[in-house]
Amino acid sequence: MNIQKYFIWDTKFYCSGKPIIFDFMSHFEHYSEENYLKMLYKLGSKDLKKVNNTALSKALELNPATVLEMVRKLKEKKLVAIGSDKAIQLTDKGKKKALLIIRKHRLWEVFLVEKLQFKWNEVHMLAEQLEHIESDDLVDRLEKFLGHPDFDPHGDPIPDKTGKIKINQTIPLVNSQPGENVKVISFAETNDAFLDYLGKLNIKPGIKIKVTDIHEYDQSLSVLIQKKAVQLSEKAARNILVENID
């Protein structure tokens, strides 16, 4: 068999007799569309007052004209709505689709960490690719295989198959007060460099932290992590999301 020809022209793969569609002609358009929806959900979750074309272009690091064209397509598909002030919002249909993409992403991250022993700072880009496989059956089987996890390796909740998600009730560590004891729940930032930094400090979901001091000069924090004194910058503490356990 000519392997190269197989992968170029035979674009259907099968799971229990059901096709996993992987159409190379339309894949990149879907890939791009799904990334737009995910980013709009992420920006909306940050309680930004207004997500317009400029903010979305900056977040995606794309040309504003390119973003404007995709937003127009998403509007035609009733996945987004554009307000009179040019603000872009996900419709209910768009939000559900975004959450189902996030569901796949987070399940793949669990699989990569728990079953393939990847480090938690190595899985984001791999999951970015895997999340675009279009097979509900595959995702349902993956979830069952993993034992129906509620959270990904970074502490973020995994949406269910209907698109419902349990939102973590957290505050940034930087908002804690000296003397408070908190538990790490998740992270506002999950890029590889930040996760590698956290791993070296043994800061992960479930870890308890005691805030001992907040320095007025630069708002950095002195904390105790498993009785070990650690200094955290204001930027790092802002991206560590916690709940108070006092």
Residues 105 and 223 grouped into a single domain: no
**pLDDT at 2 > cutoff 50:** no
> Residue 185: which domain range?
171-244
Q: Note the pLDDT of residue 8.
A: 36
pLDDT tens, position by position, 171-186: 999 999 999 999 999 9
- Shared domain check, 148 and 176: no
Instruction: Mark residue 16 as left, alpha or beta (left: phi above 0; alpha: psi -120 to 50; beta: remaining).
Output: left
Domain boundary among 97, 130, 165: 165
Query: Which tens digit of pLDDT belongs to each residue from 132-145?
Result: 998 999 999 999 99
DSSP the chain: --HHHHHHH--EEEETTEEEE--HHHHHHHHHHHHHHHHHHHHHHTT-S---HHHHHHHHT--HHHHHHHHHHHHHTTSEEE-TT--EEE-HHHHHHHHHHHHHHHHHHHHHHHTT---TTSSHHHHHHHTT-B-HHHHHHHHHHTT--SB-TTSPBPP-TTS--PPP--EEGGG--TT-EEEEEEES---HHHHHHHHHTT--TT-EEEEEEE-TTT--EEEEETTEEEEE-HHHHHTEEEEE--
Domain tally for the chain? 2
Among residues 78, 39, 94, 96, the alpha carbon closest in space to that of 62 is found at 39
Q: Are residues 121 and 188 in the same domain?
A: no
Residues 83 and 153 in one domain: yes
Higher-scoring residue by pLDDT: 149, 7: 149
Q: State which of 144, 165, 186 marks the end of a domain.
A: 165
- Over residues 109-131, the mean pLDDT reads 95
Query: Domain boundary at 165, 193, 220, which?
Result: 165
Mean pLDDT of 24-28: 47
* pLDDT the model gives residue 19: 53
Is there a single domain that holds both residue 186 and residue 161? no
Does residue 105 share a domain with residue 4?
yes
Structure tokens at 92: 């209910």
pTM (whole model) above 0.85: no
The answer, yes or no, to whether residue 4 has pLDDT greater than 60, is no
Q: Tens of pLDDT along 198-207? A: 999 999 999 9
Same-domain status, 232 and 193: yes
CB-based contacts of 81: which residues, under 8 Å, 6+ apart? 75, 88, 89, 90, 91
38 and 132 share a domain? yes
